[in-house]
Structure 1
Amino acid sequence: MCHHHNSSDSSSLIPSDREVLPNNVKPLHYDLTIEPIFENFTFKGEVTIDLHVLERTDYISLNSLQIEIQESKLNDIELKNIQFDVNKQIVTFKLDDHLVEGADAKLYIKFTGTLNEDMAGFYKSSYQENGETKYLATTQMEATDCRKVFPCYDQPAAKAKFTISIITQKELTALSNMDVKETTLIGDDKKLVAFNTTPIMSTYLVAFVVGELNYVENNDYRVPIRVYATSGTENLGVYSADIAAKTLKFFDKKFDIEYPLPKLDMVAIPDFAAGAMENYGLVTYRIVDLLIDPANTNATTQQRVTEVVMHELAHQWFGNLVTMEFWDGLWLNEGFATWMSWYAADSLFPHWKVWESYVSGTLQQALSLDSLRASHPVEVPVKKVDQITQIFDAISYSKGSSLLKMVSKWLGEEVFISGISLYLKRFKWGNTYTSDLWQALSEVSGKDVNNVMNIWTKNVGFPLVKVEEVDDKLILTQNRFLATGDVKPEEDQVLYPIFLGIRTSEGIDETIVLSERSITIPKPANFVKINADHSGVYRAAYEPARWAKLGQVGAEGKLTVEDRVGSVSDASALASAGLIESTSLFNLVRTWTAESNYVVWDSILNKISSIKSVFIFDDESIRKGLDGFVLDLIEDKFNEIGWEFSDEDDFSSQNLKSTFFASAVSSGHQGAIDFSVKAFDDFVKGDKKAINPNLRAVIFNYVAKVGDETTFEHLLNIYKTSESEVRIAALRSLGRFTKPEILDKVIALLLQTDVIKQQDIYIPMQGLINHKEGSLKLWEWLTTEWDKIYKLIPPSSSMLGSIITIATSGFTKQEHKDAVEEFFKEKDTKGYDQGLARALDRLTIKINSAKRDLGPVTQWLSVNGYSK
């Protein structure tokens, strides 16, 4: 593999203390045969690795973890001296003699392992069919779990070819990355399925699935596309198979490189830790992210499934064909696949207007996490395995994709795509550094992408641009933004090149870049708003009078949807950091009662709802007052559109109705509440059409909130007997119960893995943190059951950090934070230290907001007639 790097360049990028395998030999090809044994949930296998010797050596080291080696040979001579370093996850074979540089060698290993329950490596997944528990075996190798399946060079840059064979019962389906070459019967009841050899690829993309699976096939594309699922659910894969065909055609054309494999399989897996995994040619998914019945699915879920499929298929080029050199380049993979999935969705489903919801969703997730001290740069130096799982977060995905959005806006979308195509062609089948992408983009655009982007990807955090008006001038100043509002001078050294995008009544001026601390420009006559359309990764702060003015021009229709959404988000974040009053946010949006865009309403109502959640442990009256404000805001529009759905409702009107309905119910709108109670009653009595899919979650949540034992039994039963999306809505609603004796039952379910799958444990938790009783019960559960939780969800899984984040996120008082710090003081936080630090940061923000806002918000509500 010839890299376009001079050696000084690439070696300086690799930290010297990175835990990696020695570079004395390299793998060229793996011949692997593996057999899952369902009777006792083990597997056995043998692998022959063709090696090329790079330097004279008397040992070979591979990654290996939780695997027992029965026998090993080098060039047919048995190896006796084998050493395991469990901590570093390495097995070393000592040789009697030396291998010389340039030689080739064959290493044979026979081994066994356990089909685990950790959703990592080669694991078992269970499901119910006609009251019987059944199992399938599947893999999840990313980031570093291929070493749990067979000894290998488990690093992204150690690409090789794989010839895989699977031995299993003859009635089961066996799938792998490639198509089947031949199937041979063994004895009466077994078969060996041999697959064709893969192209050169990384170990983290190797995959196989074995179980009772059926499929639907789509032939609209050059190669066959199949969606596999457990028997009887495969017909729910028709939608995703169709999306996959359209998406592969789209990417073939855009990248100007054809999808290189002979088939594409997508499989719904009952137990799955993430959302989906882009294994080359065999993409695996959590059931809810792949299988849907479009006729009974709400608009948001349909969009999510589409985007997940597009995200995984973008990876077939970006990540699988061209791969980051090591995990510190993870953002290249994930940020790009995220950006690309919207680009595809925007082209194929223009009526979704995904770039509008990008501003309220992804961009805010990025800014929210990156405004904490416990954030990290987009390019993060990763040295140890336990650091890798923690970077699969909103920085790698959301900030990464937001920076790409910024570049694509700067260079122009078509130029950006042709730069991507050049990059993919240049490094096809190889490994890259971030600088390779900037280089390709510089070549096609003629702009200095490298120097601009390095500042954005190598530093933590982002700027706040303050807009001050002095006479006929505007002074624009950048400083670091922290959500805690307490930036220290030493944290504010970096100056970013900021594309200001200044919107005035004349249009947008894209020419001005703020790359120093402060600049002064002439003040436009009518109005001014910076960061037009919010394609810049920063926040803007205006003077109080200017927020009200933005509200006015917003109401007059002079700002785009992106501008309206972005302003609401900026105002909300500044208020939460104490840089402006929360009442500035109220004043910005109170005149927007005629707003008709659901993304804007979503933002407004979410922000008010998060202010409400800050007072969850305070006097009820302030929350009631905010409810009154919300009902007043939505009244005109809500009366006009109501909550009846018809086939004429397009995507955005479905979303608008469900947004309003949710807000009406949570703010105490009697009509919407009465409807919820009746609709649920009819639904339980057997009228499955009584609840529109778009209102399902809201209605389930409400009846739980006021519900008794009977409601609990109903919702638990709906959860147990329904398909994907309905199940999840019912499961989440269980957390909304407020009666203590029902809460105890909900809490007791959290660790019953036969009722709630480990992958879904966080879902009822998301319901619990919406009320103070739930928050307190959840924390009590976490601290009492910590040892069990830790065993069930080990720190090697990124889920542990999420659980800590959720379990603490309802809290708003100093004594809560003290309790959290006290509990974790003596614990070994390896594997979730980032998650804990972020949770504590977020607690600080809430505590300060609650203290600071109590007075001003109470007064504003009183002056405006909303006090109860």
Structure 2
Amino acid sequence: MRRILTTAIALALAGAGNAALAQPAAAAPAAAPAAVTTQLPRDVRPSNYDIEVEPHAERMAFDGKVRINVDVLAPTRSITLNAADLEFGTVRLERANGKALVPKTRVDAAAQTATFSFDQTLPVGSYLLTIEYSGKIGTQANGLFALDYPTDAGKKRALYTQFENSDARRFIPSWDEPAHKATFRLAVTAPSAQMVVSNMPVASTHGLGDGRTLTLFKPSPKMSTYLLFLSMGEFDRATLADNGVEIGVIAQKGKVEQARFALEASRDALREFNDYFGVKYPLPKLDNIAAPGRSQFFSAMENWGAIFTFESSLLLDPAISNVSDQQRVFSTAAHEIAHQWFGNLVTMAWWDDLWLNEGFATWMEGRTTRKLHPEWDTDSVDAAFTSRGAMGQDAFATTHPVVQHVATVEQASQAFDGITYGKGSAVISMLEDYVGETAWRNGVRSYIGKHAYGNAVTDDLWAEIEQATPGKQFAAVAHDFTLQPGVPLIKASSMCTGGNTVVQLEQGEYTLDRPDKTPLRWRVPVHVRGDGKSARVLVDGKASVTLPGCNAPALVNAGQKGYFRTLYAPAQFKALRSGFATLPVVDQMGLMLDTGALAAVGLQPESDSLDLAMQVPTAAAPELWQMVAGSVGGLDDLFKGDAKRQDAIHAFAIKRLAPKFAQLGWDNRDGDSASTRQLRNSLISTLGELGDAAVLAEARRRFDAFLADPASLSPDLRRTVLGMVARNADAATWDRLHALAKAEKSSMLRDQYYGLLARAKDKALAQRALDMALTDEPGATNGAGMISSVSWEHPELAFDFAVAHREQVDKLVDSTSRARFYPGLGGSATDLSMVEKINAFAEAHIAPTSRRDAERVVNGIQTRVKLRQQRLPQVDAWLKQQGV
């Protein structure tokens, strides 16, 4: 029921005028470029929003009023803006010294728009559009939503907003597109006992005398609607000041000290970015707000000055948090703070260039983590993972370019994927390596300064870097990797001639599902090293490199910054394998990653990959042993359905991994590096998955001790042991975990327990988890995660269950993510019948323009089944040579 807001709000706002945070002279023009996609008419644009809102958490609804300063750019008889799930009251349009006009309102729910039609033509000029409206508070992260959480004093409820990509329209009628930047002033009426948080500091508060307080916030800078933020609840806040900025962390009462690490990480990252970008963070404060619960699709959101982060990526509970949690908290904070420049200060003009936000934030996250916490990557192996992280997705026919066309809200939601984040980051890493750190940073600084408070497209960035790197063909290289999809393949062979090593390089394309595909063409920056010397070349079709000396084999992609796969001629690969121990760890990893990927599609013998895994010595770097564990542990999946063969493979894999685990032991030792601690957990998990009786027995023993005394299980092992026990649980053990979940008062721990209940291999227990996911018990944000977790082991069971209960499951999933969620449940299937199910679901329930994820999952299943059949004979032959 719509409710008129108290007049105190209007009185408090009266006389405030249209003041907003002063913008620099470099601010971009307000009008969107003609080439920018829009779903709204271009004849009206906003410049400022004054928003008054009163949420009613107890009845999951809110009342709102907004006054929007708009400019009519061409004569029109209507104004159309975005609105979703809003009910409208009085609407009026005013002009200085003019009569107020009351339009007719028409809502188009499918288009998520509202149109205000007038009886007369509106001349060009400035107007004030006032709208009274009401809306809904949801349970998922779309618009204004509620999160319930347990405390010692009983259940509490807090409210938060999530607007990216296109959900500000659920909170305010607005031009909800990134190019329509405006300033915002927010006024919120809330219970006096609650803290209210937004992008800007509080300007004033006014007690209303009835247990409510009106909070007014200072005006925001010019920004896109998706960056607006509001939260209210029983919170604590901790702060520190640095370089004129108040940095804060906010969490539920009693938890804010668990955000101390995040607070200090935010300070350190902010200092680094102020220096790197050459433009100081422009807001007076930067908060990071911890929220209970979770989302299947994001962990944090970069709202300007008020980052939203789920607790699991912000809080560190000393009783349960380990070094991996520290890394996650730091990297999440670094990612979101990087967005304060790439995304917030300079925003992509439309979702086609989303990667300008996400690819850069991902790259800056990695760069900043390596610089400020080198102890987490002592062998600099992150480059190998970065360069190859997205290749699995990019090698399918269902991939897309980094810069992609987005036509609908649903397509914008699907754009948040491994190509946008992972390939975007990897391409940046390669391009920076190609032009040099200084030239790259100079180009980035120029781009940020030129487009501050405005919108940009990818070519705006390339233009600045091209200017900073004359003679490099930079834009041509950048276009090759961002405007077309796919993964280059560099074929390499070498020979010794006159005391020099001559390396021949030829370009092709690495693909998982199209072996006969005509390769695309890239200009590929390649770094070659051999015999202590190195050279760089731009491979455009074919190229050759000459290195002095012939005493060491030539390694292609030295340092692993290049976004391509390398296929060596047999003789060159043999030489590299023989000299494997002499390579830097990052290049050892790159060689292993490429060999495994090429073997999987038949471009190299499977024995090449497996032989590399077998020759890694016990004393090798922990990251290499992570690769070994994945390689020999993964053999199990190839032989599903052949119990006798799997038993033999389990014994073989356990024998290979057990000596390394024996060296490490169960418990941490003084001096253990972060990667050693992580390897220990990885080996325990892998050995448990392989059925190592001793490991499983010790895990159960430690679990029993934990039930008697939770402090007996170290934070480093807690998640690993509980995960192994949950995966192998019988009914009695599952019930014990369930009891822990029901009794837990920590929202973060409670979420973890309910997640564990969905990991059981036992099908009957998996069904119990599915049934529980639809109840109120786990909480509104855990149900979808439980269904997803079940699907890892039981894809058919989870998919069929979700489809059969679609109306209930829809309520557990972010509305713009359903086209991804349902197909994803079948992603681990090995039976082609799942393909038919996903296709039938997509045909019935997913718009034709939004089926990319369904197509990707279907193609992945089909390709995996096909490649498995091709690989099995080679793998089996190699195993028999090993006596298995």
Counterparts of residues 216-295 of structure 1 (less than 5 Å): 216-220=238-242, 222-273=244-295, 274-294=298-318
2:218 to 196, 199, 202: 196
SS class of match (2:390): helix
- CA distance in 2 between counterparts of 1:591 and 1:414 reads 40
Answer with 856-865 or 349-358: which moved more.
349-358
1:70 to 75, 78, 89: 89
1:847 to 857, 861, 865: 865
- CA distance in 1 between counterparts of 2:417 and 2:718 reads 29
- CA distance in 1 between counterparts of 2:245 and 2:271 reads 10
Answer with 169-178 or 826-835: which moved more.
826-835
- CA distance in 2 between counterparts of 1:810 and 1:122 reads 33
Q: Which residue of 2 aligns with 1:498?
A: 524
Q: Is residue 2:46 matched to residue 1:21?
A: no
- CA apart distance, 1:236: 1.1
Decide whether aligned partners of structure 1 residues 87 and 743 sit closer, same or farther in structure 2, where only a CA change above 3 A counts.
Answer: closer
- CA apart distance, 1:228: 1.2
Counterparts of residues 96-111 of structure 1 (less than 5 Å): 96-101=119-124, 103-111=125-133
Q: Which residue of 1 aligns with 2:584?
A: 560
Q: Which residue of 2 aligns with 1:79?
A: 102
Answer with 536-545 or 856-865: which moved more.
536-545
- CA apart distance, 1:785: 2.7
Does the CA contact (< 8 Å) of 1:184 and 1:193 recur in 2? yes
Does the CA contact (< 8 Å) of 1:598 and 1:659 recur in 2? no
Q: Which residue of 2 aligns with 1:649?
A: 672
SS class of match (1:83): strand
Q: What is the TM-score when the length of structure 1 is the normalising length? A: 0.92
SS class of match (2:130): strand
2:808 to 782, 788, 795: 788
- CA distance in 2 between counterparts of 1:655 and 1:481 reads 31
Decide whether aligned partners of structure 1 residues 112 and 258 sit closer, same or farther in structure 2, where only a CA change above 3 A counts.
Answer: same
SS class of match (1:479): strand
Decide whether aligned partners of structure 1 residues 615 and 845 sit closer, same or farther in structure 2, where only a CA change above 3 A counts.
Answer: farther
Q: Is residue 2:717 matched to residue 1:717?
A: no
Task: Deviation per CA, 1:592-645: give whole Å up to 9, x if none.
Answer: 1235322222233224434432333x2023333433343333344332222221
Q: Is residue 2:478 matched to residue 1:478?
A: no
Q: Is residue 2:50 matched to residue 1:31?
A: yes
Decide whether aligned partners of structure 1 residues 85 and 409 sit closer, same or farther in structure 2, where only a CA change above 3 A counts.
Answer: same
Amino acid at match of 2:397: R
Amino acid at match of 1:127: Y
Answer with 225-234 or 238-247: which moved more.
225-234
Answer with 566-575 or 824-833: which moved more.
824-833
1:427 to 432, 451, 455: 451
Task: Deviation per CA, 1:544-576: give whole Å up to 9, x if none.
Answer: 45444333322x2x2222212222221222222
Q: Which residue of 2 aligns with 1:328?
A: 352
Q: What is the TM-score when the length of structure 2 is the normalising length? A: 0.90
Q: Which residue of 1 aligns with 2:797?
A: 777
- CA distance in 2 between counterparts of 1:765 and 1:325 reads 34
Answer with 530-539 or 351-360: which moved more.
351-360
- CA apart distance, 1:161: 1.0
Decide whether aligned partners of structure 1 residues 542 and 380 sit closer, same or farther in structure 2, where only a CA change above 3 A counts.
Answer: same
Amino acid at match of 1:828: I
- CA distance in 2 between counterparts of 1:615 and 1:319 reads 46
Does the CA contact (< 8 Å) of 1:65 and 1:147 recur in 2? yes
Q: Which residue of 1 aligns with 2:489?
A: 464
Does the CA contact (< 8 Å) of 1:19 and 1:88 recur in 2? no
Amino acid at match of 2:476: N
- CA distance in 2 between counterparts of 1:667 and 1:789 reads 33
Does the CA contact (< 8 Å) of 1:278 and 1:312 recur in 2? yes
Decide whether aligned partners of structure 1 residues 295 and 157 sit closer, same or farther in structure 2, where only a CA change above 3 A counts.
Answer: same
- CA distance in 2 between counterparts of 1:427 and 1:163 reads 23
Does the CA contact (< 8 Å) of 1:615 and 1:812 recur in 2? no
SS class of match (2:254): coil
Stretches of structure 1 that go unaligned for 5 or more consecutive residues are none
Q: Which residue of 1 aligns with 2:12?
A: none
1:750 to 773, 776, 783: 773
Amino acid at match of 1:529: L
Does the CA contact (< 8 Å) of 2:784 and 2:809 recur in 1? no
SS class of match (1:612): helix
- CA distance in 2 between counterparts of 1:543 and 1:728 reads 50
Decide whether aligned partners of structure 1 residues 30 and 820 sit closer, same or farther in structure 2, where only a CA change above 3 A counts.
Answer: closer
- CA apart distance, 1:29: 1.0
SS class of match (2:189): strand
SS class of match (1:569): helix
SS class of match (1:118): coil
Answer with 182-191 or 475-484: which moved more.
475-484
Does the CA contact (< 8 Å) of 1:51 and 1:105 recur in 2? yes
| RMSD (Å), alpha carbons | 2.7
Does the CA contact (< 8 Å) of 2:201 and 2:217 recur in 1? yes
Q: Which residue of 1 aligns with 2:18?
A: none
Decide whether aligned partners of structure 1 residues 252 and 294 sit closer, same or farther in structure 2, where only a CA change above 3 A counts.
Answer: farther
Q: Which residue of 2 aligns with 1:659?
A: 682
Counterparts of residues 376-775 of structure 1 (less than 5 Å): 376-446=400-470, 447-468=472-493, 474-489=503-518, 492=519, 494-510=520-536, 512-516=537-541, 518-520=542-544, 525=550, 526-554=552-580, 556=581, 558-616=582-640, 618-686=641-709, 688-720=710-742, 721=744, 723=746, 726-727=749-750, 729-758=752-781, 761-762=784-785, 765-766=788-789, 768-770=791-793, 774-775=794-795
Does the CA contact (< 8 Å) of 2:613 and 2:628 recur in 1? yes
- CA apart distance, 1:655: 2.0
Decide whether aligned partners of structure 1 residues 334 and 566 sit closer, same or farther in structure 2, where only a CA change above 3 A counts.
Answer: same
- CA distance in 1 between counterparts of 2:168 and 2:253 reads 28
Q: Is residue 2:397 matched to residue 1:373?
A: yes
Task: Deviation per CA, 1:45-86: give whole Å up to 9, x if none.
Answer: 111111122222222211111111101111161413222222
- CA distance in 1 between counterparts of 2:607 and 2:403 reads 37
Decide whether aligned partners of structure 1 residues 648 and 506 sit closer, same or farther in structure 2, where only a CA change above 3 A counts.
Answer: closer
- CA apart distance, 1:159: 1.1
Amino acid at match of 1:253: D
Does the CA contact (< 8 Å) of 2:616 and 2:624 recur in 1? no
Task: Deviation per CA, 1:575-598: give whole Å up to 9, x if none.
Answer: 222323322210122111235322
Decide whether aligned partners of structure 1 residues 454 and 97 sit closer, same or farther in structure 2, where only a CA change above 3 A counts.
Answer: same
Does the CA contact (< 8 Å) of 1:60 and 1:93 recur in 2? yes
SS class of match (1:590): helix
Answer with 840-849 or 127-136: which moved more.
127-136
Stretches of structure 2 that go unaligned for 5 or more consecutive residues are 1-22
Aligned length: 847
- CA apart distance, 1:301: 1.6
Amino acid at match of 1:192: L
Answer with 796-805 or 264-273: which moved more.
796-805
- CA distance in 2 between counterparts of 1:787 and 1:128 reads 27
SS class of match (1:265): strand
Does the CA contact (< 8 Å) of 2:384 and 2:587 recur in 1? no
- CA distance in 1 between counterparts of 2:790 and 2:48 reads 49
Decide whether aligned partners of structure 1 residues 250 and 177 sit closer, same or farther in structure 2, where only a CA change above 3 A counts.
Answer: same
- CA distance in 1 between counterparts of 2:192 and 2:708 reads 44
Decide whether aligned partners of structure 1 residues 609 and 19 sit closer, same or farther in structure 2, where only a CA change above 3 A counts.
Answer: farther
Does the CA contact (< 8 Å) of 2:838 and 2:854 recur in 1? no
- CA distance in 1 between counterparts of 2:774 and 2:424 reads 35
Amino acid at match of 2:311: I
Does the CA contact (< 8 Å) of 2:151 and 2:746 recur in 1? no
Amino acid at match of 1:40: R
SS class of match (1:129): coil
1:43 to 57, 62, 85: 62
User: Greater relative contact order: 1 or 2 (C-alpha under 8 angstroms, separation 6 or more)?
Assistant: 2
Q: Is residue 2:231 matched to residue 1:212?
A: no
Does the CA contact (< 8 Å) of 2:321 and 2:716 recur in 1? yes
- CA distance in 1 between counterparts of 2:379 and 2:175 reads 40
- CA apart distance, 1:756: 4.7
